[in-house]
Amino acid sequence: MKTAFLFPGQGSQSVGMLSVAAESWPMINKTFAEASSVLGYDLWHLCQKGPAEELNQTMVTQPALLTASIALWRQWFAAGGPRPQFLAGHSLGEYSALVAAESLDFVEAVKLVRLRGELMQEAVPSGEGKMAAILGLEDADVIAACDEAANGDVVAAVNFNAPGQVVIAGLAAAVDRAIEACKAKGARKALALPVSVPSHCALMQGAAEEMGRALDEVRFNDAVIPLIQNVNAAAVTDSATLKANLLKQLYSPVLWADSVRNLVASDVTVAIECGTGKVLAGLAKRIDRELAVHGIEDPQALKTALAANESS
């Protein structure tokens, strides 16, 4: 039986995150100090004191979550944890997974996700883009609703997170029309998300062009651990494919439900959510209840996860 590490994306951040962990683990402050030296500001202070409005800015959120995940990844090994058999990251979390796979250097990853956040914010002016969560509707019905609502505008299903949970993104007016179309098709809930950047849709094509140039300047290595990538839910280790899929991810749907199913089909029985919050654990319960997901964001949780890994 095998273990996988799952790295969360945006939405897992909160002011005060990892404060308990930092009291016991010097690795937390050490890793945040490393990122701060790259960013030119005190990332740890911002994560602890806020304000939330600043932490929730995409160009800040992305380095913060990447750094939190890598700090916990390092602490796992410091505590004697073994190397997992698979890695997967949700959206931004794919950068964390690439660092864990030794495909991408941590310092380079911090620079890249800061740029990624900046480019995403610049791609669509504030207020013009929108994302919404659609609950209780089949994937095909959500896709059809987006097609019906587009009317020449961009709106698409972009995060296939779990059965009955799909996120759509696009221009605000088109997303509003798609929300109504989803409700008409029987969606249990269709609610706008508190973000202004419409991730993983065609509106990110312009950002991808500049991001591609940045990626070309960074060294990618073959992954030492297979990584299930967002765009195809397939395990990849070769550097060229990892890099190409990472760029494509910016404007392509996140196939998270299929990614988790792939892990289960590959005999993964225990997964570790390597980051703050429990978003991915919640999704995993909806995808396959046989997969046990443990967090490691504080000493007690890490102890439980290590024991679960030993018994798997």
> Mind telling me the catalytic residues?
91, 200
- Whether the CB-CB separation of 139 and 160 falls below 8 Å is answered with yes
Residue ranges of alpha helices (H) inside the chain are 19-24, 26-39, 43-49, 52-55, 58-78, 93-100, 106-123, 139-150, 172-184, 205-216, 239-249, 256-265, 279-287, 299-311
Separation of alpha carbons 241 and 112, rounded Å = 18
Separation of alpha carbons 270 and 245, rounded Å = 26
- Whether the CB-CB separation of 301 and 295 falls below 8 Å is answered with yes
DSSP 8-state secondary structure symbol assigned to residue 151:
T
User: Which amino acid, 162?
Assistant: A
